[in-house]
C-alpha cells in the first residue's frame, strides 16, 4: 500500500469533520467529497472548532499543517487520495453503492475504509472492485481527540490491508484495535449499547433522571475507565487473588435481576423524558459550547495519563516520540549544528490554563517553556531516553529568568537557544522567548547545567559523542554577539 499524503473523505458530517481535523493537524492533506456544496462551509467550521484543542494536545514539534480542499465530484477525490475514508449515512444499500463506485476509480493500492459503527465489512465490500483493500475503520467522536479506531476486515480483506491501515492511523496519533471477528456493532458500540439499554430502562421506570445517571458515571467508574477497562478494574477488586477471587465472590450476583438486556419500547413518553433530561443538563449551552468543554477536559485527561504512560496517554506519548524524531531528522543535523544562529527549538501558544489572575502567562510557565527548549536541545545532541537509561544526564544547577513584556492567552510564541559556554561537564545556555507575530522579545532565561553520573551521584564527563555535538554548536555560536542580558546580576538596572 502507498504512503499516505492525502486522505480522501467520502462524505463529511460530524465524523468526516473529525477525520479532517486530525489528519490536517498531523500534516496530511485532506480532500473531502460530498454531494451537498454547503458542506464545504460546514467542514471548514468543524476543523476550525477543533483546532484550539488539538493545539494544546502536545508540545511535540508538528509538521506543517495539511491543506483542506472540497469537491462535489467523487472522481476528483478518488483519483487524488492515497487513503479513502467513507463517512456516509448508516444505510447498507447506500454504502454498498458508493463504495462500489469509488472502488472503480481509486488506484488499486489505495485502501478504502468505512467509519460504519455497526455494519459488517463483508456486506459492505460485496460489490467493490478489489475488495481485498477494504476494511472498517470505526472511530469515536470527537475523532480528532479520541485515539481509538476499530479495524475490522471482511471475508475478502487481506492482513496487509489491516496492517497498512493500522500504520497510517498510528501515524496520525490513533490507537488501532484489530477486531479479529466481524460482528454487528464491532466491540465498543456493543459495550456502549448494553449500558445505553439499561439507561433507557431506568429512565422509563422513573428510577432516575438522565442527569443523575450521568453523575453515576462521571463521579465513579468514568474516572477509572479513563485508564483501566472493566476487566482490569474487576481484577483489582479481587485483591491479591485477582479475577478468580472476584468471580467467586461476585459471580453469583450475575444471576440476580439487576439489569434488563432487552431495550424498552421507545414510546413518545420515554423520548420526551430523555429529551427533557438532556436539555436540562445542557442548561442553555449550545452544542459548540459543550463540544469545547468536552475537548478541554479530554486534552487535560490525556496530558495527565501521558505522565504515567497508560491508556490514551501512552498513545499520545508514542505520537510525541515520533513527532520529535521526525523533527530531528527532518533537517540536516550538520547544518543545524553548524549554523551561526541561535537554535529555534520551541514554537507554541499560551494555553488558557497557563494564564494567571492578571490575564497573563504565569511566571512558572516561562521556566516550563525554557525547559521544553532544553529537552529539544538534549535530543539534538544525543541526550535521549537511551542516554538517560545508561545512567547519565545533565542537571540544572542554576537558572535566571528576566521578563520584558506579558504573554496573553492564545498568543503564539517561540524560543531560541544559544550556547554561551561548554566543556566536558558544564553547559551554559541562553534562551530568548519571542512573540511570533512581531518577533518581540518578551523574556530571556539563562541556565547552567552540570553533567552527572546518576548512579554515582556525582559530576562526570559527558560521552564523547555528546561532547562532539556540543562543541560543534559552541563553535558555531561563538561568532554570535554575547546577549546583552547574559551574566546579569538579579536586580541590576536595565
Residue 334: what pLDDT? 43
For residue 432, give the nearest of 408, 457, 412, 414 by alpha carbon: 414
What single DSSP character describes residue 254?
G
Across-strand partners of 382? none
Residue 329: what pLDDT? 65
The percentage of residues in the chain with a pLDDT greater than 90, rounded to a whole number, is: 63
Residue 237: what pLDDT? 75
Domain boundaries, the chain: 6-186, 201-284, 332-478
Give the residue-averaged pLDDT of 128-156. Answer: 96
For residue 398, give the nearest of 432, 446, 354, 359 by alpha carbon: 446
All cell numbers assigned to 210: 438522565
Q: Give tens-digit pLDDT for 49-83.
A: 999 899 889 888 889 999 999 999 999 999 999 99
**What are the Cα distances from residue 207, in Å, to 60, 198, 210?**
47, 11, 10
Residue 332: what pLDDT? 38
User: Residue 6: in which H helix or E strand, if any?
Assistant: strand 6-10
Q: Give tens-digit pLDDT for 428-459.
A: 999 999 999 999 999 999 999 999 998 899 99
Asked whether the beta carbons of 133 and 112 are under 8 A apart, the reply is yes
Task: Pick left, alpha or beta for residue 62 (phi over 0 → left; psi -120 to 50 → alpha; otherwise beta).
Answer: beta
Does residue 253 carry a pLDDT above 60? yes
CATH class of the region 201-284: mainly alpha
Does residue 353 carry a pLDDT above 90? no
Which burial class, exposed, middle or buried, applies to 316 when counting CB atoms under 10 A from its CB (0-12, 13-18, 19+)?
buried
Cα 387 to Cα 401: distance, rounded to the nearest angstrom: 28
Confidence of residue 109 (pLDDT cuts 50, 70, 90): very high
Confidence of residue 112 (pLDDT cuts 50, 70, 90): very high
Can you tell me whether residue 317 is helix, strand or coil? helix
User: Residue 116: in which H helix or E strand, if any?
Assistant: none
Q: Give tens-digit pLDDT for 170-229.
A: 999 999 999 999 999 999 999 999 999 999 999 999 999 999 999 999 888 888 888 778
* Average pLDDT of the chain to the nearest whole number: 90
Cα 233 to Cα 218: distance, rounded to the nearest angstrom: 16
**How many CA atoms lie within 13 Å of 242's alpha carbon, on the beta-carbon side?**
2
Q: What is the number of H-type helices and E-type strands within the chain? A: 18, 14
Cα 176 to Cα 171: distance, rounded to the nearest angstrom: 11
Residue 17: what pLDDT? 96
Cα 311 to Cα 224: distance, rounded to the nearest angstrom: 11
Tallying the residues shown for the chain, one arrives at 494
- Residue tagged 458542506 (cell numbers): 39
Does residue 331 carry a pLDDT above 70? no
Does residue 335 carry a pLDDT above 60? no
| CATH number, domain 6-186 | 3.40.50.720
Q: Give tens-digit pLDDT for 186-201.
A: 999 999 999 999 999 9
Residues 6 or more apart whose CB falls under 8 angstroms from that of 141 comprise 14, 15, 18
Q: Give tens-digit pLDDT for 10-40.
A: 999 899 999 999 999 999 999 999 999 999 9
Across-strand partners of 415? 346, 433
Architecture of domain 332-478: Roll (3.10)
Residue 229: what pLDDT? 81
Cα 176 to Cα 164: distance, rounded to the nearest angstrom: 11
Phi, psi of 35 (to 5 degrees): -70, -20
For residue 326, give the nearest of 214, 173, 473 by alpha carbon: 173
Amino acid at each position: 500500500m502507498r504512503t499516505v499524503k492525502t486522505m480522501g473523505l467520502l462524505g463529511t458530517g460530524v465524523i468526516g469533520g473529525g477525520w479532517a481535523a486530525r489528519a490536517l493537524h498531523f500534516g496530511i492533506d485532506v480532500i473531502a467529497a460530498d454531494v451537498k456544496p454547503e458542506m464545504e462551509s460546514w467542514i471548514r467550521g468543524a476543523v476550525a472548532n477543533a483546532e484550539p484543542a488539538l493545539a494544546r494536545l502536545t508540545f511535540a514539534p508538528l509538521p506543517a499543517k495539511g491543506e483542506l480542499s472540497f469537491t462535489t465530484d467523487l472522481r476528483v477525490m478518488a483519483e487524488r487520495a492515497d487513503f479513502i475514508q467513507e463517512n456516509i449515512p448508516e444505510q447498507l444499500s447506500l454504502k454498498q453503492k458508493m463504495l462500489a463506485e469509488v472502488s472503480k476509480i481509486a488506484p488499486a493500492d489505495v485502501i478504502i475504509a468505512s467509519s460504519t459503527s455497526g455494519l459488517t465489512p463483508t456486506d459492505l465490500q460485496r460489490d467493490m472492485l478489489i475488495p481485498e483493500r477494504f476494511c472498517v475503520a470505526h472511530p469515536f467522536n470527537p475523532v480528532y481527540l479520541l485515539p481509538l479506531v476499530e479495524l475490522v476486515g471482511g471475508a475478502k480483506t487481506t492482513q496487509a490491508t489491516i496492517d497498512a491501515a493500522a500504520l497510517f492511523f498510528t501515524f496520525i496519533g490513533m490507537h488501532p484495535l484489530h477486531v479479529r471477528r466481524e460482528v454487528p456493532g464491532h466491540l465498543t458500540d456493543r459495550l456502549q449499547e448494553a449500558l445505553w439499554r439499561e439507561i433507557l430502562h431506568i429512565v422509563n421506570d422513573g428510577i432516575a433522571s438522565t442527569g443523575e445517571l450521568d453523575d453515576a458515571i462521571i463521579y465513579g467508574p468514568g474516572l477509572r475507565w479513563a485508564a483501566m477497562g472493566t476487566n482490569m478494574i474487576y481484577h483489582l477488586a479481587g485483591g491479591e487473588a485477582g479475577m478468580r477471587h472476584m468471580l467467586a465472590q461476585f459471580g453469583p450476583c450475575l444471576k440476580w435481576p439487576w439489569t434488563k438486556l432487552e431495550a424498552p419500547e421507545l414510546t413518545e413518553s420515554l423520548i420526551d423524558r430523555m429529551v427533557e433530561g438532556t436539555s436540562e443538563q445542557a442548561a442553555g449551552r449550545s452544542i459548540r459550547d459543550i463540544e469545547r468543554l468536552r475537548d478541554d477536559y479530554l486534552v487535560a485527561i490525556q496530558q495527565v495519563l501521558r505522565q504515567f504512560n497508560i491508556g490514551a496517554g501512552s498513545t499520545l506519548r508514542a505520537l510525541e516520540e515520533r513527532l520529535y524524531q521526525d523533527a530531528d531528522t527532518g533537517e540536516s543535523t550538520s547544518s543545524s549544528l553548524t549554523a551561526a544562529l541561535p537554535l529555534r527549538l520551541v514554537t507554541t501558544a499560551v494555553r488558557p490554563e497557563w494564564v494567571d489572575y492578571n490575564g497573563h502567562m504565569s511566571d512558572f510557565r516561562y521556566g516550563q517553556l525554557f525547559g521544553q527548549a532544553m529537552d529539544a536541545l538534549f535530543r539534538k545532541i544525543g541526550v535521549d531516553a537511551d542516554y538517560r537509561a545508561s545512567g547519565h544526564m545533565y542537571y540544572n544547577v542554576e537558572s535566571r529568568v528576566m521578563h520584558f513584556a506579558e504573554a496573553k492567552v492564545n498568543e503564539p510564541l517561540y524560543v531560541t537557544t544559544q550556547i554561551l559556554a561548554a566543556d566536558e561537564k558544564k553547559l551554559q545556555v541562553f534562551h530568548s522567548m519571542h512573540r511570533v507575530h512581531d518577533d518581540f522579545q518578551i523574556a530571556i532565561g539563562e541556565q547552567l547545567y552540570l553533567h552527572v553520573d546518576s548512579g554515582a551521584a556525582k559530576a562526570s564527563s559527558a560521552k564523547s559523542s555528546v561532547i562532539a555535538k556540543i562543541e560543534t554548536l559552541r563553535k558555531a555560536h561563538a561568532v554570535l554577539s554575547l546577549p546583552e542580558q547574559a551574566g546579569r546580576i538579579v536586580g541590576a538596572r536595565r
